[in-house]
Amino acid sequence: MPIETFLRQMPKVELHVHLEGSIRPETLLQLAQRHRISLPADSLEGLRQWYQFTDFPHFAEIYLAISSCIQIPEDIELITCEFLRHQAAQNIVHSEVTYTPLTIFKKSGILFHDQLAAINRARLWGEKTLGISMTLTIDMSRELVTEEESLTVADWAISGLGNGVTGFGLGGYEVGFPPERFKKAFDRARAAGLASLPHAGETLGAESIWGSLRSLHAQRIGHGVRCIDDRDLIKELRDRQIPLEVCPTSNVCLKVVPNLSDHMLPSLIDEGLYITINSDDPPMFNTTLNDEYCRLARAFGFSIEIFEQFALNALRASLLPDNKRQSLEEKFKNEFLSLRIQNN
């Protein structure tokens, strides 16, 4: 069995994937047409050309245009169902999905309660019909929120505890928007029982990760790859085994690294850091989680054991209940063994 067949068939968990960034291009065109929203492209080929990003601000501009095509709760339910079908097809049994409700509210006026209800209809359908699970990390774009709005988003996230929401996040452009600005919102969310899951160390260096650890008490770090520039930070992350949600193709597309072969992932592994692999915004970066695994196999020649560790790392770093995690870990190991036997 070729290693890529093994990688596509193995069970996986994904911790860093954005719901709005996962909209199928075909669906995006349908939503734009339905709501009479003008996009710079009106064909699949046009969208592919539109998705050629020059830098992070350019990416964010396109992301907001995509979000503006979500206008009614049924749109949210549709994109969530399609997302879950795609995850199931990749043997991804659990996904922790980032969602930015304030942006959707500002673009459409849909109340958070109604946004969450739409996602939960799809989430419960996915559990019943597809046999896979998802939870939500409610996040905000740091360059687009005031302090008052950040507290509102924290309250929204808290209201979803026990109803699909498990984490509180922070995305967007790091330069000029340090994590310390959002300490009050994260303190409120953490006190209520939400996990702190900020992006850091993507468009800015180690100081953003330090701030996320010290001020936001991050439980996992979204991206985190720029830690490689700071030996003290590497030691901190290694000693505490803080999971990094690494998104290799995203890093190439947004110019964090020039090419996949230049990615710091092998160095992060050699340093003993806790690594998970993720797709971030799959269609926007022309990738999937399966593609990420296969591209890494081709670029770096990683062994099957390393990919099994990536999958187990993601499972163990998930916010699933302990008994569910333990049950899935046993299932993963049995499936790995079965695939290995087929491979031989």
Active-site positions? Answer: 202
User: Tokens representing 285?
Assistant: 């970066």
Q: What share of the chain is helix, strand, coil (3-state, %, to 5)?
A: 60, 15, 25
> Dihedral of CA 164/166/171/177: which sign?
positive
**DSSP codes of every residue in 279-315:** -BSGGGGT--HHHHHHHHHHHH---HHHHHHHHHHHH
- Whole-number Å distance between alpha carbons of 196 and 219: 5
- Whole-number Å distance between alpha carbons of 265 and 163: 35
Please choose, from the candidates 124, 189, 126, 134, the residue with its C-alpha nearest in 3D space to the C-alpha of residue 17: 134
**DSSP codes of every residue in 238-276:** HHHTPPEEE-HHHHHHTTSSSSGGG-SHHHHHHTT--EE
What lies within 8 Å, CB to CB, of 257 at 6+ separation is 225, 251, 263, 264
